[in-house]
Protein backbone atom coordinates (compact mmCIF):
# COMPACT_ATOMS: atom_id res chain seq x y z
CA UNK A 1 0.00 0.00 0.00
CA UNK A 2 1.30 3.48 -0.90
CA UNK A 3 0.42 6.78 0.69
CA UNK A 4 1.08 10.07 -1.00
CA UNK A 5 1.45 13.24 0.98
CA UNK A 6 1.41 16.59 -0.74
CA UNK A 7 3.64 19.37 0.48
CA UNK A 8 1.71 22.01 2.32
CA UNK A 9 1.91 25.49 0.82
CA UNK A 10 2.38 26.71 4.39
CA UNK A 11 5.67 24.83 4.84
CA UNK A 12 7.68 26.87 2.35
CA UNK A 13 7.36 30.62 1.99
CA UNK A 14 6.64 30.64 -1.73
CA UNK A 15 6.13 34.19 -2.95
CA UNK A 16 5.99 32.76 -6.47
CA UNK A 17 9.59 33.85 -6.98
CA UNK A 18 10.89 31.53 -9.71
CA UNK A 19 14.49 32.29 -8.69
CA UNK A 20 14.08 30.99 -5.16
CA UNK A 21 15.80 27.65 -4.48
CA UNK A 22 14.06 25.04 -2.36
CA UNK A 23 15.58 21.60 -1.76
CA UNK A 24 15.19 21.23 2.02
CA UNK A 25 17.77 18.45 2.57
CA UNK A 26 20.40 20.29 0.54
CA UNK A 27 19.59 23.55 2.31
CA UNK A 28 19.99 21.86 5.72
CA UNK A 29 23.30 20.24 4.74
CA UNK A 30 24.61 23.56 3.43
CA UNK A 31 23.51 25.37 6.58
CA UNK A 32 25.48 22.89 8.69
CA UNK A 33 28.60 23.20 6.50
CA UNK A 34 30.07 25.94 8.71
CA UNK A 35 29.28 24.23 12.01
CA UNK A 36 26.57 22.75 14.23
CA UNK A 37 23.20 24.48 14.53
CA UNK A 38 19.82 23.87 16.13
CA UNK A 39 16.57 24.09 14.17
CA UNK A 40 15.79 27.79 14.60
CA UNK A 41 19.36 28.79 13.72
CA UNK A 42 19.13 26.61 10.58
CA UNK A 43 15.84 28.24 9.57
CA UNK A 44 17.38 31.71 9.83
CA UNK A 45 20.60 30.68 8.08
CA UNK A 46 18.69 29.02 5.23
CA UNK A 47 16.59 32.15 4.77
CA UNK A 48 19.72 34.34 4.65
CA UNK A 49 21.43 31.98 2.16
CA UNK A 50 18.56 31.29 -0.20
CA UNK A 51 15.61 33.55 0.51
CA UNK A 52 13.60 30.39 1.23
CA UNK A 53 11.74 30.25 4.52
CA UNK A 54 11.15 26.62 5.44
CA UNK A 55 8.33 25.75 7.79
CA UNK A 56 9.06 23.63 10.86
CA UNK A 57 7.47 20.53 9.32
CA UNK A 58 9.63 20.78 6.22
CA UNK A 59 12.77 21.44 8.26
CA UNK A 60 12.27 18.60 10.72
CA UNK A 61 11.22 16.22 7.95
CA UNK A 62 14.51 16.97 6.17
CA UNK A 63 16.44 16.60 9.43
CA UNK A 64 14.83 13.21 10.12
CA UNK A 65 15.66 11.99 6.61
CA UNK A 66 19.25 13.21 6.78
CA UNK A 67 19.68 11.64 10.20
CA UNK A 68 18.30 8.29 8.92
CA UNK A 69 20.77 8.49 6.03
CA UNK A 70 23.54 9.25 8.56
CA UNK A 71 24.45 12.49 6.83
CA UNK A 72 23.87 14.52 9.99
CA UNK A 73 23.89 13.59 13.66
CA UNK A 74 22.48 15.14 16.80
CA UNK A 75 24.76 16.59 19.43
CA UNK A 76 23.92 16.76 23.14
CA UNK A 77 20.95 19.06 23.70
CA UNK A 78 21.61 22.61 24.88
CA UNK A 79 18.74 23.49 27.20
CA UNK A 80 15.70 22.86 24.97
CA UNK A 81 17.59 23.14 21.70
CA UNK A 82 18.83 20.14 19.71
CA UNK A 83 21.92 20.96 17.65
CA UNK A 84 22.98 18.87 14.65
CA UNK A 85 26.23 18.55 12.74
CA UNK A 86 27.37 17.05 9.48
CA UNK A 87 28.90 13.60 9.58
CA UNK A 88 31.95 12.82 7.42
CA UNK A 89 29.52 11.14 4.98
CA UNK A 90 27.39 14.30 5.02
CA UNK A 91 30.42 16.39 4.08
CA UNK A 92 31.17 14.06 1.14
CA UNK A 93 27.56 14.08 -0.07
CA UNK A 94 27.27 17.86 0.26
CA UNK A 95 30.53 18.42 -1.63
CA UNK A 96 29.39 16.08 -4.43
CA UNK A 97 25.94 17.70 -4.69
CA UNK A 98 27.35 21.23 -4.75
CA UNK A 99 29.97 20.28 -7.33
CA UNK A 100 27.26 18.77 -9.54
CA UNK A 101 25.04 21.84 -9.09
CA UNK A 102 27.93 24.16 -9.87
CA UNK A 103 28.61 22.38 -13.16
CA UNK A 104 24.93 22.38 -14.01
CA UNK A 105 24.71 26.13 -13.33
CA UNK A 106 27.74 26.86 -15.53
CA UNK A 107 26.26 24.86 -18.43
CA UNK A 108 22.80 26.38 -17.98
CA UNK A 109 24.12 29.94 -17.94
CA UNK A 110 26.28 29.25 -20.98
CA UNK A 111 23.20 27.97 -22.84
CA UNK A 112 21.28 31.13 -21.93
CA UNK A 113 24.13 33.31 -23.20
CA UNK A 114 24.05 31.45 -26.54
CA UNK A 115 20.45 32.52 -27.21
Question: What residues contact 26, with CB distance under 8 A and at least 6 apart?
Answer: 94, 97
pLDDT computed for residue 1 by the predictor: 47
Residue 96 belongs to a domain with what CATH number? 1.10.10.10
What phi, psi does 72 have (nearest 5°)? Answer: -135, 160
Q: How far is CA 53 from the centre of its chain?
A: 11
Range of the domain at 65: 24-113
Is 106 a domain residue? yes
Classify 13 in phi/psi space as left (phi over 0), alpha (psi -120 to 50) or beta: beta
Q: Residue 87 in contact with residue 71, Cβ under 8 Å?
A: yes
* pLDDT tens-digit series, residues 5-19: 434 343 444 445 655
* pLDDT tens-digit series, residues 36-51: 999 999 999 999 999 9
Single out the residue of 3, 7, 13, 97 nearest to residue 61, CA to CA: 7
Give the whole-angstrom CA distance, residue 25 versus residue 44.
Answer: 15
Is 4 a domain residue? no
Check whether 95 has a pLDDT greater than 80.
yes
pLDDT > 70 in the chain, percent: 82
Domain count, the chain: 1
Q: Residue 89 in contact with residue 97, Cβ under 8 Å?
A: no
Amino acid sequence: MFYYVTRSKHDVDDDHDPGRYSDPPLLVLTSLADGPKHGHAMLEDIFRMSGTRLGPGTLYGAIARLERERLIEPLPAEERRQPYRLTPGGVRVLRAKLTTLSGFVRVGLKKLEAR
